[in-house]
A and B are shown apart, each in its own frame.
Chain A
Amino acid sequence: MKLTVNGHSTYISTGGIKPSIDNQAIIFLPGSGQSHLTFVLQTRFFAFEGYDVYAPDFPGHGLSKGNPLETIEEMADWVAGLMAQCNLKSAIIVGHSQGCLVAMSLAHKYPDLAEKLILIAGALQIKVNDHLLDKSNSSLPLAIAMMTEWGHGRQGHFFAASQPGHSLLGIGRELMMANAQDALPADLLACNQFDATNIAAEIEAPVLCILAQDDKMTPVKLGIKMSDTFKNSTCVTIAQSGHMLPIEKPDDVNSSIQKFLN
């Protein structure tokens, strides 16, 4: 569905089913340079499971217009505004990578909005190396190539895919190329500047951390450290996957979420 948020057309994937407002709401927040398509194998699944699904594209990403947001806090405020516009009093918040930082910021700043957090391939800090930051400005295709290569585990590099005929590396590249040119640099800078170490310890909502064993971007040890910081958290590690867990191991991710929510 499309809404106008802050004067800009904003796309929100609802998993193929229009939200009813009566069902439990679940919001999916993508990572740097990603869009609702990161969660293509979660949005439809949970919509057909009976949840009201919202997977928004942040400004300048995917099918949303507008200038990319510049800080994680600004993104959390944007999500809070979107929830108000959708008449959502609270929701389960699912983040992937940078989306985890946004989810933590949201849960800290607006505790009533986040019933539960599900943080996929996340960390308290996601530091971005200078070379990647530089290339995201000077040579976007190269930066995207680096991220898609780092982002996928060994099976992804062997072109394994749960959806027949798909190339996760090829899809990842084209998905990121479809964003506004300044979306990725803004995201990476926002990630680099945010630190959730102090706020995570104050979050009251139950948290599920889903980590990828072969994650090169947010290694497992950082995910475990993040999980240990929360007051109430559960942590699962999924084998044979890289950072792009939602598309590399969708069935494992979905069943982990179901188990946590049930």
Chain B
Amino acid sequence: MSHKYKFDTLSLHAGQTPDSEFGSRAVPIHQTTSYVFRDTRHAAALYNMEVGGHLYSRISNPTVAVLEQRVAALDDAAAATATSSGMAALFSALLTICSAGDHIVASSQLYGANVNLLKYTLPRFGIHTTFVDPTNHEELKSAITEKTKIFFSEIIGNPGLVILDVDAVAKICQEHSILFMVDGTFNTPYLMAPVKNGVNIIIHSLTKWMGGHGVAIGGVVVDGGNFDWGSTDKFPTISEPHYAMDNINFYEEFGPVAFTAKFRAEAMYNFGPCLAPMNAFHILQGLETLPLRMQRHIENTQELLQFLTSHEQISWVRHPSLPEHPQHELAAEMLPRGAGSIITFGIKGGRDAGKKFIETVTLSSHLANVGDAKTLVIHPASTTHSHIDSQSMLSAGLTDDMIRLSVGLEDISDIISDFEQGLKAASKL
């Protein structure tokens, strides 16, 4: 029997075979805008999607393709297309499916920019979203209308850390013939590859754990290949003749990768959210150590949870692995390797104490990112979620005293020492 490579091996090798000309072991950086055609017939064949290959780096690029194929392998999916950021991935994926008049149902527990895109930007183009509590499946079902095309949610909500019951929601989406799209940034394929659970499209911000080093912004749209576009007439741009390439029918021509074919032919072509080859290279360097880093992220998270839950200055701690988390059992079942390395907590003394803590810690960095190799802290109410309204903040589980902690890879004793002196300073207010 052929040997199917495991996750750790795929993190290092998938998508790449050593360069046949020079034997480069590392992935070469193809820093080029365009590619010389062999002849006019070859050029036409590339434009017509008759053959594989690259014609212009806005559409595809060999270095970026290695990254795409590696992510598709890690997520056990049919295809992946990289974009310039996670937000570019989400926007382009939504617009690949939705047109004016269409409807989206989304979790209320989303990252601030995701909320703003759905709540304010897309309605300007006639695409409206109903936000629901992702744990209330009856509310979710009630929100679905005949115009609904997509249910969208993060698997681990940012920053509320609500866990989506992927199996149950997949069943609802299948029953209503709507696309199940998730943001998998906080789980990464290492903690959960959800195509086998019935997720159809996965969005990742590659900027976070997948890259891990904090040097490159990037995103990716992963196509599970498991949505039956022919089962419903809800998706005419995929399952009926399309304006591009002589009324091509993506569903008939490309089957499981119909979404990706349309994404490549329309979103990459017309919107242009391409990932720079250099950034793809940087992110690939990070991906090589994803499993090792995720193990350490999870170990440090568990140690820090023990420290925080027993510290007298801490008023509350939230993480899906804690027994008091309302979805503790679901998280343990669905994410057996760990429920991520984001912790939220409150400090006695409220907003001022939180501010003092953030300004006093020295090893932990105060910045607007998560998933870096370094430990990061932020006060979401005044930063990442400051531009969303108070009702949406409440729906997202945000409180004024909340501190979001992205646990890094430093020696755990140094992180705890840093926190001890930060909490000591906060206690003196």
Contacts A16-B248, A158-B17, A162-B52; A174 near B256 (Cβ below 8 A): yes
A40 within 8 A of B: yes
Roughly how many angstroms separate A254 CA and B1 CA in the complex, as a whole number?
A: 28
Q: Return B221 CB to nearest CB of chain A, in Å.
A: 9
Per-residue interface assignment for chain A, residues 159 to 170, with 1 indicating a CB less than 8 Å from any chain B CB and 0 otherwise: 111111111011
> Across the two chains, which residue of chain A brings its CB closest to B254?
A40
Whether B50 pairs with A165 at a CB distance below 8 angstroms is: no
User: B10 contacts which chain A residues (CB < 8 A)?
Assistant: 159
Instruction: Indicate whether B51 reaches chain A with its CB closer than 8 angstroms.
Output: yes
Q: Smallest Cβ distance from A85 to chain B, in angstroms?
A: 19
Of chain B, the residue at the smallest CB distance from A152 is B2
Report B17 CB to chain A, min CB distance, Å. 5
A174 to B16, CA, bound (A): 23
Tell me the nearest residue of chain B to A146, going by C-beta. Answer: B1
B288 interface hit (Cβ, 8 Å): no
Stretch at the interface among B72-80, B137-145, B293-301, B366-374: B72-80
Measured between beta carbons, the chain A residues less than 8 angstroms from B69 are 159-161, 164-167
Q: Answer yes or no: B228 CB below 8 A from chain A CBs.
A: yes
Task: Tell yes or no: A157 within 8 A of B by CB.
Answer: yes
A165 near B79 (CB under 8 angstroms)? yes
Q: B52 touching A250 by the CB < 8 A rule?
A: yes
Known A-B contacts A16-B48, A166-B79; A174 and B225 likewise in contact (beta carbons under 8 Å): yes
- How far apart sit A35 and B68, CA to CA, in the bound complex (Å)? 25
Q: Which of A161, A162, A178 meets B51, CB within 8 Å?
A: A162
A127 on interface, CB distance cutoff 8 Å: no
Task: List the A side residues contacting B1 at CB < 8 Å.
Answer: 146, 149-150
Interface of chain A residues 76 through 113 with chain B (CB within 8 A): none
Q: In chain A, what residue has the closest Cβ to B247?
A: A16
> Would you call B79 and A13 a contact (CB within 8 A)?
no
Q: Of B17, B68, B69, B195, which is in contact with the most chain A CB atoms at under 10 Å from its CB?
A: B69
Residue B60, interface by CB 8 Å:
yes
User: Does A48 lie within 8 Å of B50, measured CB to CB?
Assistant: yes
**A45 interface residue, CB < 8 Å from B?**
yes
Question: B224: which A residues are within 8 A, CB to CB?
Answer: 174
Residues of A within 8 A of B15 (CB): 158-160
Contacts of B342 in A (CB 8 A): none
B272 within 8 A of A: no
A238 at the binding interface (Cβ < 8 Å): no
A-B contact count (CB 8 A): 144
Q: Mark B244-276, 1 if CB is under 8 A from A, else 0.
A: 011010001111110010001000000000000
B41-71: contact bitstring with A at CB < 8 Å (1 yes, 0 no)?
0001100111111100000111011001110
Given the contacts A155-B17, A165-B260, A178-B228, A62 and B255 also touching, CB distance less than 8 Å: yes
CB neighbours of A162 from chain B (8 A): 51-53
* CB-defined contacts of A45 to chain B, threshold 8 Å: 45, 50-51
A39-76 near B? 1/0 per residue, CB < 8 Å: 01100110110000000000000110000000000000
- Interface residue tally of chain A, by bracket? 35 or more
Q: Which residues of B contact A149 (CB under 8 A)?
A: 1-4
Complex contacts, B77 vs chain A, CB 8 Å: 167, 170
Chain A positions within 8 Å of B50 at CB level: 15, 41, 44-45, 47-48
Contact in complex: A166, B246 (CB < 8 Å): no
| B78 & A174 in contact (Cβ 8 Å cutoff) | yes
Q: How far is the CA of A163 from the CA of B81 in the complex (A)?
A: 11
Interface centre among B14, B50, B52 (most CB of A within 10 A): B50
Does chain B have a CB within 8 A of A11? yes
A48-B45, A158-B15 known; A163-B253 Cβ under 8 A = no
Among A169, A171, A178, A242, find the residue whose CB has the most chain B CB atoms closer than 10 A: A171
CA distance A14 to B281 in the complex (A): 39
Is B257 a contact of A216 with CB atoms below 8 Å? no
Contact of A186 with B by CB under 8 A: no
Nearest chain A CB to B165's CB is how many angstroms away? 22
Residue of A nearest to B18 (CB): A158
Give the Cβ gap from A96 to chain B, nearest Cβ, in Å.
16
Confirm or deny: B226 has a beta carbon within 8 angstroms of a beta carbon on chain A.
yes
Complex contacts, B17 vs chain A, CB 8 Å: 155, 158, 160
Instruction: Provide the residues of chain A in CB contact with B325, threshold 8 Å.
Output: none
* A27 interface residue (CB < 8 Å to B): no
Known: A150-B1, A159-B73, A164-B64. A40 touches B78 (CB 8 A): no
Is residue B125 contacting chain A, with contact meaning CB distance below 8 A? Answer: no
A164 touches B226 (CB 8 A): no
How near does chain B come to A5, taking the closest CB pair, in angstroms? 17
Expressed in whole angstroms, the Cα–Cα distance for A92 and B328 within the complex equals 61
A171-B256, A178-B228 known; 13 new pairs, CB 8 Å cut-off, are A13-B252, A41-B52, A45-B51, A48-B44, A164-B54, A164-B60, A164-B65, A164-B69, A165-B264, A167-B73, A250-B52, A251-B51, A251-B52
List residues of chain A with CB under 8 Å of any chain B CB.
11, 13, 15-17, 35, 37, 40-41, 44-45, 47-48, 62-63, 146, 149-150, 152, 155, 157-167, 169-171, 173-175, 177-178, 216, 242, 250-251, 254
